[in-house]
Amino acid sequence: MANFSSKSYRLKFDIIDRAKKLQMNLIGFAPVERWEKYRETDEEYYPQNIWPGIKSVIVLGTQIYLPMLETTPSVVYSELYNTTNRILDEAAYKIANYLNTLGKQALFFPRDCYGDISVLVKKPQAAFSQVLAGKYAGLGTIGYNHTLITKEFGPRVRLVSVLTDAVLPPDPVLKKDLCIKCEMCRKCCPTSSFKTTENFIADMDKKKCAAYHARLKSAYCYPCGVCIKVCPIGADRKIYGYDAKKYLNEKEALKQDKKNPEYAGWVHCREHGSEPV
């Protein structure tokens, strides 16, 4: 393992302190060499190839509140999603700006970075993977449903990355997969986009998933989020609980009785502020 100066550790701890004050729940650090080490994406998507000179990636994460997510598709979850995006980009901007004041190159890669969901229907791939960045920064592991699974929130987390030429001590990559491959995400997916069961990370029809999201956007209740809603992993479950039966039975139960009291709160949120899906 490389040796780092006390100055580099002080800068890392300073960044962590600033990120926490900006309400970031998760902060991780990854050297760009990890993209070359793991080779889980094409070289054109490596941060050091997008912006030459970059040495470290700082990944920031904030939680998705489970009760609001459970109402999906609804404007309640849509507003939560938009709020976390705004908070993330603002926090990343401020961290990058701080590094600039120290004479360091720094910029942030926006958490989604696509102009409209209709673009993803044609090409469902981002210019930079926040999920891989989160993995390499030690925040979690990649699950069956292609999301980053964290100890704290399962996949119910949004991510943004700060890219810098500062050489910062990295965090260790998690060795044990957090995903237990229960396939709840596959069983509950409204589009049946997960096509395989034999692989640890599913083959996925990304265009089908994106097309459904385009439909939700037109109804003002974008995005979907079902696959992260039903995941049992995460310490947030200790606060809010977990009821697999309720998730698995939701579609059929509401088909038989839209006023089923078990789902009353979810249905209430879906019936206000957005169009029917």
Domain spans, the chain: 1-277
Sheet containing strand 26-31, strands side by side: 26-31, 56-63, 157-164, 106-109
What would the two tokens of residue 69 be? 């997510």
pLDDT on residue 1: 52
Angle between helices 6-21 and 75-101 (to 10 degrees): 150
In order along its 277 residues, the chain shows pLDDT tens digits of 578 999 999 999 999 999 999 999 999 999 999 999 999 999 999 999 999 999 999 999 999 999 999 999 999 999 999 999 999 999 999 999 999 999 999 999 999 888 888 898 888 889 999 999 999 999 999 999 999 999 999 999 999 999 999 999 999 999 999 999 999 999 999 999 999 899 999 999 999 999 999 999 999 999 999 999 999 999 999 999 999 999 999 999 999 999 999 999 999 999 999 999 9
pLDDT on residue 125: 87
Kindly report each contact of residues 2-11 with a partner whose C-beta sits within 8 Å and lies 24 or more positions away, as own/partner: 4/167, 4/168, 4/169, 8/166, 8/167, 8/168, 8/169, 9/169, 11/102, 11/166, 11/168
pLDDT on residue 131: 98
Among 74, 71, 68, which Cα is nearest to 277's? 74
Report the C-alpha dihedral over residues 117, 123, 125, 126, rounded to 10 degrees.
-60
Please answer whether residues 112 and 23 qualify as being in contact, where contact means their C-beta atoms are separated by less than 8 angstroms.
Answer: no
pTM here is 0.96
- State the pairing for strand pair 56-63/157-164: antiparallel
pLDDT on residue 240: 97
The residues facing 33 across adjacent strands are none
What would the two tokens of residue 209 be? 């998933």
**Backbone phi, then psi, for 15, in 5-degree steps?**
-65, -45
pLDDT on residue 156: 98
- Burial of residue 121 (number of CB atoms within 10 Å: 0-12, 13-18, 19+): middle
